Amino acid sequence: MKKDFINFYELSKEELLEILELAEKLKKGETSVNTLKGKSIGLIFMKPSTRTRLSFEVGVYQMGGQPVYITGSSTQLSRGEDIKDTGRVMARYLDGLVIRTYSHQEVEELAKYFDKPVINALTDYLHPCQILADLQTVKERKGKIENIKVTFVGDGNNVANTWLIAGGLVGFDVSVATPAGYEPSGKAVYQALKLAQKTGAKIEITNNPAEAVKGADVIYTDVWVSMGQEGEKEKKKDFEGFTVDRDLLKHAPSDVLVMHCLPAHKGEEISEEVFEQYADVIFDEAENRLHAQKALMHYLFK
Ligand code: CP
Ligand code: NVA
């Protein structure tokens, strides 16, 4: 049966740990993978991207495959051809699909009609490839991803939703602090809690960032206005007090890691000073997109 990576829990905890181990070896140059030799992988991007596009294009090439970059506007999708037919047509040429789009349901539907691996490169609901690379980064820096606390401060968006589900799956505590009205998706909280029944992860949703960062191993943030929400810029005024800055860090342990998926809006969700203080970690996260996704593709296509 084909394997996809659309939600985070398509991987078991064991598979996830195996992928992270391979990612680590790939990064150190201890091994290489040419699992995609002779394979063509379509990369559909209906939203902009710097890191995800580049890391997939380069990663597919390094694994011996051909990346085929497809913009939303350049396909018949933009003229109303449906997902069902698009998936069936693409499966006649391509060996795998990476897709970044708005609707999560559309990606799930595509995976029903495209009978080879489909990877979610970000939807309005989730960003699983990002958190995969972030877990590699946390493991490098903290030596573990279990028994830790990750605090997400900001908008309860796709990245926050994915952290919740990842915490539930792996068994680490996740606290998400947002202004009232910007909490993460109820579905993500439900999925996280369901997974946490098995792993014992604590899942907390709060409107108090100073309390949430207490005891945190990682403080994570992301933009207040995500792609597709550009018309909602007004919402920024509701985020006062939710900037990851020096004042907020006073409430966290001194060895806390500050992470950001990028792109960053400095002066909004993170102060320039804190961003620069943790720039090494933040750019490692960006680099690890390449290694983690190669390990993921090896697992999906081997
Ligand atoms: N973090 C991330 O996914 O970046 P891009 O939008 O540049 O791909
Ligand atoms: N939440 C952001 C993540 C960007 C990588 C967005 O969806 O725009």
pLDDT of amino acid 239: 98
For residue 39, give the 3-state DSSP assignment: coil
Residues 96-107 have pLDDT tens digits of 999 999 999 999
By most ligand atoms within 8 Å of CB, the mutation choice from 104, 120, 153, 226 for ligand 2 is 226
Tell me, yes or no, if 51 is annotated catalytic.
Answer: no
Tell me, yes or no, if 92 is annotated catalytic.
Answer: no
What value does the mean pLDDT take over residues 160-185? 98
Report field, pTM of the whole predicted structure over 0.95: yes
Residues 43-91 have pLDDT tens digits of 999 999 999 999 999 999 999 999 999 998 899 999 999 999 999 999 9
Say yes or no: CB of residue 226 within 6 Å of ligand 1. Answer: no
Buried b (16+ CB within 10 A) or exposed e, 50-65: ebbbebbbebbeebeb
Going from the C-alpha of 258 to that of each of 58, 217, 246, 252, 253, the distances in angstroms are: 27, 9, 11, 10, 11
Gap between the Cα atoms of 235 and 21, Å rounded: 40
pLDDT of amino acid 233: 84
Per the structure block, which two tokens stand in for 57? 């294009």
Say yes or no: CB of residue 130 within 6 Å of ligand 1. Answer: yes
Q: Is the pLDDT of residue 118 over 90?
A: yes
Is the peptide bond preceding residue 263 cis, with omega within 30 degrees of 0? yes
Average pLDDT, the chain: 97
| In contact, 177 and 247? CB cutoff 8 Å | no
pLDDT of amino acid 203: 98
Ligand 1 centroid, distance to 38 Cα (angstroms): 27
CB-based burial of residue 211 (10 Å sphere; 0-12 exposed, 13-18 middle, 19+ buried)?
middle
Strand partners, 205: 176
pLDDT of amino acid 43: 98
pLDDT of amino acid 72: 83
Say yes or no: CB of residue 49 within 6 Å of ligand 1. Answer: yes
Q: Is the pLDDT of residue 171 over 90?
A: yes
pLDDT of amino acid 206: 98
Ligand 1 centroid, distance to 285 Cα (angstroms): 11
| In contact, 50 and 60? CB cutoff 8 Å | no
Residues 196-246 have pLDDT tens digits of 999 999 999 999 999 999 999 999 999 999 999 999 889 999 999 999 999
Q: How many other CB atoms sit within 10 Å of the CB of residue 121?
A: 27
Domains of the chain with CATH codes: 8-127+289-301 (3.40.50.1370), 130-285 (3.40.50.1370)
| In contact, 192 and 167? CB cutoff 8 Å | yes
For residue 4, give the 3-state DSSP assignment: coil
Gap between the Cα atoms of 51 and 301, Å rounded: 22
| Residue 190: band (very low, low, confident or very high) from pLDDT cuts 50, 70, 90 | very high
Say yes or no: CB of residue 123 within 6 Å of ligand 1. Answer: no
Ligand 1 centroid, distance to 198 Cα (angstroms): 31
Q: Which of 158, 151, 170, 157 is nearest to 128 (CA)?
A: 158
Ligand 1 centroid, distance to 127 Cα (angstroms): 9
Ligand 2 centroid, distance to 92 Cα (angstroms): 31
Residue type, 272: E
Residues 248-279 have pLDDT tens digits of 999 999 999 999 999 999 999 999 999 999 99
pLDDT of amino acid 170: 98
Q: Whose CA is nearest to atom 6 of ligand 1?
A: 49
Gap between the Cα atoms of 239 and 258, Å rounded: 19
Ligand 2 binding site (Cβ under 6 Å of any ligand atom): 122, 127, 157-159, 222-223, 226-227, 261
pLDDT of amino acid 169: 98
CB-based burial of residue 107 (10 Å sphere; 0-12 exposed, 13-18 middle, 19+ buried)?
buried
For the chain, state the CA radius of gyration: 19
Tell me, yes or no, if 100 is annotated catalytic.
Answer: yes
